[in-house]
Structure 1
Amino acid sequence: MTRHTIQDCVIFGAGDYYGDTPIIPQNAYVVAADGGLDHTRAFGIDTDAIIGDFDSVSDDFSAYIGLKNITRLPSEKDETDMLSAVKIGWAQGARRFHIYGGLGGRLDHTLANMQMLARVACHGGIGFLHGNGFVATSIADATLDFAAWDAPNRSMVSVFAHSDRAHGVTIRGLKYEVDDVDLRNTRALGVSNEFLMDVASTISVRDGILDITFSAGAPSPTWRTTRGPEGPDALGELDLEISSLLARR
């Protein structure tokens, strides 16, 4: 597996932040997705880009006219504001995304964001959803390595197959270990594993996609993948049109 020099992108969504203060990596590209703009203002964080249909911001859209790098999307579109924000960061060269305000709240948005993480992973990137004491991510043909840390009792980590089958799953250094097994997305065998105190750990999948959730207190994992990062257009263009799937009456 190869390591790549990766640009970070931090995205602010409109959801709950659970009292967390977002961490901005050095030189990260910062995007506010719709109502996430209210959160960046509350935190005093400058944005590099703003995007959304602006149905969840505190002010009318007219209040934001004139802000730099702002893109207004139609409300009746096929893709979410969050995916559009990821596309902007991807086009700027980011391949690692830290997303706040995208977990909890509306279940449909949480599921959409998990599907989005899998899409990013399939193209050679990685995203992390932060919220409520946990982090969620997806990996495709990849490995996550966690450094040893002073893990409190029952510091949880769970592993799920996102693809129909995830082949060659190996878990080392956690309470429950497996070696080169296959997981299916219709059977949850990887729920409620645990970090061990002062033990480094690894989660990998040879062929397929895994969804992984872990305690926010864990060290930020390093990431290796056999999928080289794809070009700036890999995720597609922004969805700027009203959906053609709308029923016409």
Structure 2
Amino acid sequence: MKQAVIFAGASVQPEQQPPVPAADLYVCADAGVKLAQALGVVPDWIVGDFDSLGSVPEGENVEPFSPMKDDTDILLAAKYALSKGCRRLVFYGALGGRLDHTVANLQMLRFLADHGAQGVLVDHAHWVTLQRGGTAVYPRRDGMYFSLFAMTEQCEDVTLEGVAYPLCHGKFSNAFPLGVSNEILAENAVVTVGRGDLLVVYARD
């Protein structure tokens, strides 16, 4: 599976970010070019309206857009990665900034699932993805809580194994945070979802 790493412009401390994985494609969204540079990554493509960066970078790998657009800059970067055949997209600088952009980035995970791809949002204290039905295995990460939230109205027939608060064929609702602050006790947690989109969040204090 082709992987892309996308850098966005949330204000984060570069030295605190997890190591950048090897990828087939590195893309910067607007001010994400600063984060990529700080992390020692040379981007293959730079896209955005560059209102956050303050100027349009030079180079043949730069694609500027008007600020009058429907897509966020990070979504433009994600669409570019999809167009290049990437089906796993890892995002840096997509958490911890403005709340409205964070919510938009969480919604983007559903957009990616609709296009047959997995998105992962990471920073020094979080690892976030979306599980659309089926069974997935999640490793224990020391010092991190393991929380699950319904992104659809309901997630049905949910079974959780290997966690402090297991569940057997239960139901999650987007109107009640049943799955917050669980913990993985076994080597791995096994999460099965019969129907629905489940937001999977690792978080540390």
Report if TM-score (shorter chain) is over 0.5.
Answer: yes
Amino acid at match of 1:207: R
Point out where structure 1 has 5 or more consecutive residues left out of the alignment: 1-5, 217-249
- Equivalent in the alignment of 1:31: 27
Aligned residues between the structures: 203
Report SS of the residue matched to 1:141.
strand
Q: 2:79 aligns with which of 87, 98, 105?
A: 87
- Equivalent in the alignment of 2:167: 178
TM-score, normalization by structure 2: 0.91
Quick one: distance in 2 between partners of 1:27 and 1:162? 28
1:185-204 alignment runs, 5 A limit = 185-196=174-185, 198-204=186-192
- Equivalent in the alignment of 1:42: 38
- Equivalent in the alignment of 1:7: 2
Q: Which has the higher contact order (CA 8 A, sep 6+)?
A: 1
| 1:41-95 deviation per Cα after TM superposition (whole angstroms, max 9, x unaligned) | 22221111110000111x522xx23x13211111021110011100011111111
Point out where structure 2 has 5 or more consecutive residues left out of the alignment: none
**Larger Cα Rg: Structure 1 or Structure 2?**
1
- What value does the CA root-mean-square deviation take over the aligned residues? 1.8
**Larger fraction in strand:** 2
2:12–2:96 contact (8 Å) kept in structure 1: no
1:160–1:211 contact (8 Å) kept in structure 2: yes
Instruction: Using the aligned pairs only, state the percent identity.
Output: 34
TM-score, normalization by structure 1: 0.76
- Equivalent in the alignment of 2:98: 106
1:122–1:140 contact (8 Å) kept in structure 2: no
Quick one: distance in 1 between partners of 2:70 and 2:63? 16
Amino acid at match of 2:152: S
CA deviation after TM superposition for structure 1 residue 148, in Å:
5.3
Pair 1:209 & 2:204 matched: no
1:11-160 alignment runs, 5 A limit = 11-18=6-13, 19-57=15-53, 59-61=54-56, 64-65=57-58, 67-147=59-139, 151-152=142-143, 155-160=144-149
Quick one: distance in 1 between partners of 2:140 and 2:106? 27
